[in-house]
Structure 1
Amino acid sequence: MRKRLYLLGVVCFVSILFLSACSNESNHGESNSNDGKVSLTMTAWGNPAEQEVYQRAIDAYMKQNENVSIELIPAPGDTYAQQLLTQLQGSQAPDLFYVGEVQMAQLIATGRLIELTDFLESEDSYVKVDDFASGIWGPARRGEQIYGVSVDSNPMLLYYNKKVLEEAGLDPNEPQKLYESGNWTWDNFQKINETVTANGKYGHVLENGAHHYFSWLWSNGGEMYGDDGSFILPENERGIETFAYLTKNVVDGNFTYAGALPEGQGGDAMFMSNQTAFVSAGRWFTPMFSENEALEFDYIPYPTNTGEQIEPSFIATAYLAVGDHSKNKEEALRFLSYYTSEQGQRDRLEDEGNAVPSVTTADDIIENATIPEHANYLIDARDIGKVEDKQALVPGLSDQLESILDLLFLGQLDLDEAVVRLEKTANELIEANQP
């Protein structure tokens, strides 16, 4: 009996030590690694190649700050936003996380994001507010309060396929010549596409989504929202004119709607195989296109219908934010400022990166690029462009409007019916999301 009691006592003592150790590890494991380093976690969407690009800046920061350990946690893009929202509400999110412009307003509303303005203006920050292009803040900035910092940017423009133009009997540099002479207009863009399609190839592949239709709207001086965030498309003559131009060219066969293409076939693949003349995107197609030796391409801003040579286009971006649940807020903020700074963006974007710096001090990355010839148009588009900040404030609105526009471009709704549905949907969601 004594022996059993003795053994029971030993077991209890060891168990207490073990539980104590577990408790200490639980209390400190989130903020400090076993080797005494400050531990941070960061999550972002992206394919494996993109994750490797993110890792470059993380590695560079850890090399400079040997007391810091940062783990990058990849996350699937299709469930990213909802997963992050759930994690934030339960204080289980990583210390730092990417936020898309469409999700920013919803995450700010949770009250779980750290406000960044004071830190960005402090001596501890690697980057300052004035370092960024003026149109880059979008929904991440509320008045003077900033909740996310742009990691880089992707101003929208057009890619044109020189071989397709030449095969249609056109000058392969026709868009460039028209642009330089001040004649890069909607009418001339339509004429080029008519010539290409008459030769048996595809003209412009029209994509749905806010990045695309806002770029076309703004190229005509059109708007969907007023300064107060109200939906004004039905009364906005230039806005209606934009959708009429796009749908007419789809019906006439000058443009091909991407949503009508066979599954698995997209504008990028058609461009790569020299089947289509124009696609719209940011810089993200460039690395893939530049590897294709059979492809000759260049950039050109959107054609305009206002008399101006260039008009604003949509700037696609992601923001880096810090959760207020972080155990190491100070270090998380320091890393955020490094990652989004000139050096952090150089770490990621040099050597044929897939984006454009959002800080103007790193513009030489694009200016020195040799592929394609007019890479500088990316800087022009970024400097005049903007991140849409009205529709993005209403959760779910972009997705709902895209579904209606899908029916318009597929020919299942006429323009008048589509505008009625757009107005009804927008007003209902805007009203439901009033403070």
Structure 2
Amino acid sequence: MRKRFLPAVLAALLAAVSLAGCGSKPENTDTQTTGAASAAETTKAAPDTQAASGDKITLNLTWWGNQTRNDVTKKAADLYMSQNPNVEIKVEFTDWSGYWDKLSAMAAGGNMPDIVQMDYSYLTQYQKSGQLADLSEYITSGLIDTSKIPESIIESGSIDGKCYAISLGSNAPMMVYDKAIVEKAGVTIPEQPTIEELYDISKTIYEKTGTKTYFDGGINMMQIIARTNGSQLFDELKEGKEDSMKLHFANVEKFAKAEFSISADLLAEKNPDVVETKPIIDSTTWNDFLFSNQYISVSSTAGRELGITMYPTTTDAKTQPMYLKPSQFFSISESSKNKEEAAKFIDWFVNSTEANDILLAERGIPINSTVADDIKPKADAVSQHVFDFIAKVSEIATPIDAPDPAGKGEVEALAKTVVEAIRYGDATTDEATAQFVPEAKRILEEAAK
């Protein structure tokens, strides 16, 4: 047994994540306030000066992603530049795990990119810190055309009646599985299994094929469990409620103790957060958990078509936990000196069929209904599965949780450490719950100040 779940280690983690969060939640210092005001005044005083003078306009564009996303996004940006020779788009990308640290540092240094790929989980945090431009004026003027985009999608990127982000596609939680292994085991995967069914199926697959199972112990499953209880994860944590967390940690512990589950050491080595190293890629496990916009790249990396089913629910669920989520957004930084040109690019990115002919729903089903209809017949068989999956989810989905509050990143980091302790046998369900819930509550309270 590896003794990792010690008070000193936990304290060190909390100190580290608190420091890591400082960049993304700037302190209200005179220097930062002056810098933000100066950037805003400069923008208002001389908007789009490069465009007005006819000079070359440079837009910095950043996103997180895998190689597939990087390739198609760069190709789309190249097409835009060929059609708009006065615009140069400088691209920068990284994987999810390093993206937010990098963006936080850019925000703290006052050099945010013009166009930023934003996630639903971080939208409130960056909006409240004054880093994101209000896009409402560009929507009202028609520069960003929303006539073929459902109002609910625009609302998903809005806070207090103002739009700060444009969704790049519709998305839903998904479990994927290796069809060949499942067929060899002679089992059938339900369209939406319960966690109890998943446990029994995993046992059978291991007995028949020797292939291990991966159970999602992360924040996505935490949110699913809270939703089955008719609640929202961060509402519970803010109140210090233990109900959903105890159920979640009990599931993690039950799977971790099972012979058929991937070991904690091998899981850490594989790193399921990175597409290229997910354990399903080399058949170390028969299943994995992700969002539907990742399906294309995961299948491509695995080199085989993977089966699709919904995230598991619970036998006694009070509410259907499945929901539709904006896959990612594009936002414009408040400090950008070329907001109008950035808005033009976003409009083209979401409303242009030729752009989406390249992207082919890699970030999710296109939000423009006409574009989605145009793209589906052109998509390959793998992509078609995503269109069909989103259609099924839309039939049963319940409303998405409110955007994650400030402090979400620190809570997620804490959750990873607590779940790792359970998997290594260093903490029981009760110990993990007693440690995690009050500390998460404290993090959220501190972040809200």
TM-score, normalized by length of structure 1? Answer: 0.75
**Partner SS state of residue 299, structure 2:** helix
| Percentage of pairs with the same residue | 18
Distance 1:85 1:41, change over 3 A: same
Question: Which piece of structure 1 moves more, 157-166 or 307-316?
Answer: 307-316
Among candidates 359, 371, 381, match of residue 382 of structure 2: 371
Among candidates 140, 148, 160, match of residue 165 of structure 2: 148
CA RMSD of aligned residues (A): 3.8
Say if 2:204 is the partner of 1:195: yes
Partner of 2:255: 249
Matches within 5 A, 1:23-422: 31=50, 36-74=55-93, 78-127=97-146, 130-131=149-150, 134=153, 137=156, 140-168=157-185, 170-171=186-187, 174-175=188-189, 178-179=190-191, 184-219=193-228, 221=230, 223-226=232-235, 230-234=238-242, 236=243, 240-256=246-262, 260-261=266-267, 263-264=269-270, 270-282=279-291, 283-290=293-300, 295=304, 297-305=306-314, 306=316, 311-313=321-323, 315=325, 317-341=327-351, 343=353, 346-350=356-360, 354-357=362-365, 359=367, 361=369, 362-364=371-373, 365=375, 369-371=380-382, 374-375=385-386, 376-381=388-393, 384=397, 388-389=401-402, 391-395=404-408, 396-422=410-436
Distance 1:158 1:195, change over 3 A: same
Structure 1 residue 322 displacement after superposition: 1.2
Distance 1:331 1:29, change over 3 A: closer
Greater gyration radius: 1
| C-alpha distance after superposition, 1:82-125 (max 9, x if no partner) | 44334344443322122334433332232132112232233221
Structure 1 residue 389 displacement after superposition: 3.6
Structure 1 residue 326 displacement after superposition: 1.9
| C-alpha distance after superposition, 1:304-361 (max 9, x if no partner) | 32469963157473321112222222222222233233647614432xx533125161
Structure 1 residue 31 displacement after superposition: 3.5
Q: Tell me, yes or no, if the aligned pair for 2:270 and 2:279 is still in contact at 8 Å.
A: no
Which letter maps to 2:426?
Q
Q: Tell me, yes or no, if the aligned pair for 1:349 and 1:357 is still in contact at 8 Å.
A: no
Q: Aligned partners of 1:34 and 1:125: how far apart in 2?
A: 23
Q: Aligned partners of 1:321 and 1:55: how far apart in 2?
A: 18
Q: Which runs of 5+ in 1 are unaligned?
A: 1-26
Structure 1 residue 196 displacement after superposition: 1.1
Higher helix fraction (1 or 2): 2
Partner of 2:38: none
**Partner SS state of residue 238, structure 2:** coil
Q: Tell me, yes or no, if the aligned pair for 1:215 and 1:313 is still in contact at 8 Å.
A: no
Question: Which piece of structure 1 moves more, 149-158 or 75-84?
Answer: 75-84
Q: Tell me, yes or no, if the aligned pair for 1:43 and 1:98 is still in contact at 8 Å.
A: yes
Q: Tell me, yes or no, if the aligned pair for 1:159 and 1:278 is still in contact at 8 Å.
A: yes
**Partner SS state of residue 188, structure 1:** helix
TM-score, normalized by length of structure 2? Answer: 0.73
